[in-house]
């Protein structure tokens, strides 16, 4: 009888344990199911909710070399986008503008730094993109100017574009952005690379070395000022930057809409007065098929937080100039943001 009671007790106890285990499993399943289906949002470590952008869980920003401007800015932008959208974003080293456009088109990145003129050539299928038109990439926004600087020595006697006729002038490598800038500015001033100057295909350092040694007379240099190579030249020889007058700048921009009016401030390279110039711009480009709400959030994350950009170029990045100099289609998400901040 005693054994029978013990057996009955053990059977009841086992049944009770099984019921408790089943209830616990049901509670856990309900909790898990509620997390996946009820909110539709992601959270950061702080617990703040982030919007659901569908299949996009990761973004890659293609920049340039580690010693350039694009890479450190890209790191800052990646942090801002990750914080504000919850989509993990990283900055990637790349070969910069032309390579970035090709990579975006191939799906090897979602966001990229690129010069405005290079973006235009890519979407038009011209110059270095001849026969390789890219129609899957659009603009997110303009960043800062990269000024076309026509550099010579203060005592060279070259004061205007007309004075370049017959002179040895560095125009950059064929197919480069600098070469295109030189060709177009000369064209607006009634000159041509082939017929009116002795064109030299030199990089920035070679150009300023050539000016210093007297091997060439002037050089086109497209870069943000102050440019190191030009500063080095000015340290040993006073430089002169040939101005682009307002009427010529307007004519250039009407024909090539990716240019913008610019000025090189007095004091730069020891200049006594401000020099009128033109610039192409550094911009961000994105894949056209990124969701509109995501691109809106990315644009807002960057342009609403420019005070958090520690790089010197951050002072040029402003919502009110976010569409300046862009000659390609703008993503609807970015356009929505800029329309709201007008």
- Asked if 146 contacts 128 with a C-beta cutoff of 8 angstroms, the reply is no
Whether 35 is covered by a domain: the verdict is: no
Q: What is the pLDDT of residue 67?
A: 58
- Asked if 297 contacts 340 with a C-beta cutoff of 8 angstroms, the reply is no
Can you tell me whether residue 206 is helix, strand or coil?
helix
Looking at the fold, whether 192 and 225 belong to one and the same domain comes out as yes
Looking at the fold, whether 103 and 185 belong to one and the same domain comes out as no
Looking at the fold, whether 227 and 118 belong to one and the same domain comes out as no
Burial 205-224 (b: 16+ CB within 10 A, else e): ebbbbbbeeeebbbbbbbbb
Neighbours of 166 (CB within 10 A): 10
Farthest CA pair distance, the chain: 123
Whether 33 is covered by a domain: the verdict is: no
Whether 31 is covered by a domain: the verdict is: no
Phi/psi zone of residue 88: left (φ > 0), alpha (ψ -120 to 50 degrees), beta? beta
Whether 181 is covered by a domain: the verdict is: yes
Whether 21 is covered by a domain: the verdict is: no
Whether 11 is covered by a domain: the verdict is: no
Q: What is the pLDDT of residue 27?
A: 42
DSSP letter assigned to residue 330? B
Q: What is the pLDDT of residue 199?
A: 97
- Asked if 88 contacts 77 with a C-beta cutoff of 8 angstroms, the reply is no
Q: What is the pLDDT of residue 49?
A: 53
pTM above 0.85, yes or no: no
Q: CATH number of the domain at 185, please.
A: 3.40.190.10
Peptide bond into 226 cis (omega under 30): yes
Whether 219 is covered by a domain: the verdict is: yes
- Asked if 172 contacts 148 with a C-beta cutoff of 8 angstroms, the reply is no
CA distances in angstroms from 206 to 163, 220, 241, listed in the order given: 22, 12, 17
Looking at the fold, whether 288 and 276 belong to one and the same domain comes out as no
CA distance 174 to 161: 21
| 228, 259, 280 - which closes a domain | 280
Give DSSP secondary structure letters for 63-85. Answer: ---TTSSHHHHHHHHHHHHHHHH
Q: Return per-residue pLDDT of the chain as tens, 342 residues.
A: 444 444 444 444 454 444 444 444 444 433 333 322 222 334 334 334 567 787 889 999 998 877 567 888 999 999 999 999 999 999 999 877 888 999 999 999 999 999 898 999 999 999 889 999 999 999 999 998 889 999 999 999 999 999 999 999 999 877 677 888 999 999 999 999 999 999 999 888 889 999 999 999 999 988 878 888 888 899 999 999 999 999 999 999 999 888 889 999 999 999 999 999 999 989 999 999 999 999 999 999 999 999 999 887 899 999 999 998 888 999 999 999 999 998
Query: Which domain, by its residues, includes 234?
Result: 146-280
Whether 44 is covered by a domain: the verdict is: no
Q: What is the pLDDT of residue 179?
A: 86
């Amino acid at each position: 009888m005693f054994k029978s009671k013990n057996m009955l007790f053990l059977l009841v106890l086992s049944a009770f344990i099984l019921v408790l285990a089943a209830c616990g499993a049901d509670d856990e399943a309900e909790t898990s199911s509620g997390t996946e289906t009820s909110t539709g949002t992601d959270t950061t470590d702080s617990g703040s909710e982030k919007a659901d952008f569908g299949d996009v869980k990761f973004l890659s920003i293609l920049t340039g070399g580690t010693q350039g401007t694009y890479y450190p800015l890209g790191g800052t932008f990646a942090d801002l986008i990750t914080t504000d959208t919850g989509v993990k974003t990283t900055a990637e080293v790349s070969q910069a503008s032309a390579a970035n456009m090709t990579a975006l088109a191939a799906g090897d990145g979602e966001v990229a730094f690129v010069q405005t003129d290079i973006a235009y050539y890519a979407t038009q299928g011209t110059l270095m993109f001849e026969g390789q038109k890219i129609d899957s990439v659009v603009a997110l926004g303009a960043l800062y100017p990269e000024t076309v600087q026509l550099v010579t020595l203060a005592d060279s006697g070259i004061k205007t574009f007309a004075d370049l006729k017959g002179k040895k002038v560095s125009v950059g490598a064929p197919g480069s952005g600098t070469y295109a800038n030189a060709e177009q500015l000369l064209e607006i001033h009634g000159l041509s690379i082939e017929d009116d100057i002795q064109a030299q295909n030199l990089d920035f350092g070679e150009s300023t070395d050539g000016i210093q040694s007297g091997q060439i007379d002037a050089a086109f240099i497209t870069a943000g000022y102050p440019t190191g190579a030009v500063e080095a030249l000015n340290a040993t020889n006073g430089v002169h930057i040939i101005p682009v007058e307002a009427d010529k700048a307007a004519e250039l921009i009407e024909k090539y809409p990716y240019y913008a009016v610019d000025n090189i401030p007095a004091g730069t390279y020891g200049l006594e007065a401000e020099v009128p110039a033109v610039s192409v711009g550094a911009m961000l480009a994105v894949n056209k098929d990124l969701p509109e709400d995501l691109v809106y959030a990315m644009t807002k994350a960057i342009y609403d937080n420019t005070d958090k950009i520690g790089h010197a170029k951050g002072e040029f990045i402003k919502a009110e100039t976010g569409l300046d100099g862009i000659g390609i289609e703008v993503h609807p998400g970015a356009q929505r943001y800029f329309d709201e901040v007008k």
